[in-house]
Amino acid sequence: MKESYRLTNDEKWVLKPQLYESSGGKCEYPSCEFSNYQKLTIHHVLPISIAIQLGMSREVINQIENLMILCRPHHNLADEEAFEGYRANTT
């Protein structure tokens, strides 16, 4: 069920170039200069699992305002920070 919320390859095909352009062609993490398009990944600012708990629709979760382009290490870091931030706000 959760899988259906993930971006399809077709959606990525459309969104990734837009994110890449708006980020200036690099990872959006502050001061990161990683610019290899193939290795950059699309990150959900509000993680999908949290957004589902909050009852958000697939469209809202996957709108470009909730997406960032990040290198793999910063993607992992940003996911951890998002979950920690969410826990901090709810406990």
CB of 36: closest distance to Zn ion in angstroms?
10
What's the chain's length in residues? 91
Our finding on whether 69 is near Zn ion (CB under 5 A) is: no
Residue keyed to tokens 């998002």: 82
Q: What is the DSSP letter of 1?
A: -
CB of 24: closest distance to Zn ion in angstroms?
13
Our finding on whether 40 is near Zn ion (CB under 5 A) is: no
CB of 70: closest distance to Zn ion in angstroms?
6
Q: Which element (helix H / strand E) includes 27? A: none
Indicate the pairing of strand 67-70 with strand 41-44. antiparallel
Out of 5, 12, 15, 32, point to the residue binding Zn ion (CB under 5 A): 32
Our finding on whether 5 is near Zn ion (CB under 5 A) is: no
- What are the angstrom distances between the C-alpha of 44 and each of 16, 68, 91? 12, 6, 22
Our finding on whether 20 is near Zn ion (CB under 5 A) is: no
* Binding residues for Zn ion (CB under 5 A): 27, 29, 32, 34, 71, 74
